Amino acid sequence: MDNAIRTAEHLARLAGRREALTASLAAIPPGGWVWEIGCGHGHFLTAFAQAHPETVCVGVDVTGDRVERAARKRDRARLSNLHFLQADARMFLELLPAAATLAAVYVLFPDPWPKKRHHKHRLMQPDFLGRIAARAGEGARLYFRTDHAPYFAAVQAMMAAHPAWRVVDEVFPFESRTVFQERAGEYRSLAAALRL
């Protein structure tokens, strides 16, 4: 009986998160969004939004404290085009309003889950890339950066084989050093374009 109660509580919390995320997403202007997955304290996306005031920027992170700190940065900078949400990336894609598309997606220094038995927990997976592609607009780009060489090699091979994406030889269109980037001795970057 105890498991049934915990399950019911978990499902109620999940429903509450879905409802709150749906309301938050509905309040953001539609169009082609720049989306940062795992926005942390918002350093990168705040700088991006300042440099691109006409672009709707949305950052998500699963940790509430990070999102609160990012929102404070946004508020101090008075950026009406910048939105931070506490959300799982998969739920975000599932609940994304029909009028919103993704113009660019940034995945900067995600957890590499280095142990082989944990690779299933990595964010960058073929099915997830397919879900992003389904919501991406024409000409969309996906930008990935990591300091973990094996993860980079795995993502590079995954992108090369993916039917919805192709690796392109181009630099990131915007640079702003993140906390992880400052800590990393070396890192590698990849850009991918949505296939027509």
Beta strands in 73-112 (DSSP E): 82-86, 100-108
Enzyme catalytic residues: 111
Evaluate the CA torsion angle 44, 45, 46, 47 in order and state its sign. positive
Cα→Cα distances 191→28, 77, 85, 99, 107, Å: 26, 29, 24, 25, 10
Residue 8, CB-side half-sphere exposure with 13 Å CA sphere: 5
Report the distance separating Cα 137 and Cα 156, nearest Å.
22
